[in-house]
Amino acid sequence: MTLDWFDRVSAELQDDLESICEEFDQIGHMSIDKGAKHPRIEFFVETEEEDREYFCTLFFDPFNNEFYIESYDIEFDLISRTILEDIEDIIDVVHESFHEFMNDEEEDFEYEDEDDEIVYVESLDEYDDDEYETLDVDWETPEVTAYIDESEDVEITYKFGVIQETGDGVLQRTNRVKTADDELIKDEFNFIFSKDEASTIIAMIASHMDSIQSLDADS
């Protein structure tokens, strides 16, 4: 596990975003948290009261050496993950999230030009969180170990289930890593798909198996 890719992206990201978006350059900020089990880079704007309004969070998986963002699926009450392959993908996601945030808040926030600076003004309305019903999944299989490295105390398991309400399939991947302090870190990712998609997914994986690298390749 390494943080080299995380450090490289962190160093380049701020300058790259400022160069492609003048508005982000004026009011956009980023913070870095390397102490989390999955280090993250958070992007925000500051309000007049010096509070922070976050609009994007990049997570870094040190085991798989990849950046990702998380999104909440309202319909299925599940969190999905999108992997970001390179710096261009990362910049595009942050840039798009920034403008979506600005557009969504346009009616609730005012922006005043004072001394050629943009001032962020507190929203006048409160946001009411909706309560979503937890979705039931019938797990058809137990956890099956797909990869284990006893020397690194790393284990990856999968299990398959069916969402009761929709009949869609769920493939749940669980990463377990034991740290040097004997702390167990557990990370879950759910992939949802319909019966119509299943055969295509299986065929695509099967036809490209030779292109996929083993987790032990760098050992």
Q: Domain segments of the chain: what residues? A: 4-120, 137-211
Which residue from 25, 20, 87, 100 is spatially nearest to 56, judged by alpha carbons?
Answer: 100
Q: Give the model's pLDDT for residue 157.
A: 93
| CATH tag, 137-211 | 3.10.450.700
Q: What is the pLDDT of residues 15-28, one digit of tens each?
A: 788 777 888 878 88
Q: What is the pLDDT of residues 109-154, one digit of tens each?
A: 444 444 444 444 444 343 343 433 456 889 999 999 998 887 778 8
Range of lowest pLDDT (84-93, 95-104, 163-172, 178-187): 178-187
Is pLDDT at 80 greater than 90 in this prediction? no
Q: What is the pLDDT of residues 172-196, one digit of tens each?
A: 999 888 877 777 888 888 888 898 8
- What residues contact residue 180 under an 8 Å CB cut-off, 6+ apart? none
What tokens appear for 203 in the block? 């065929």
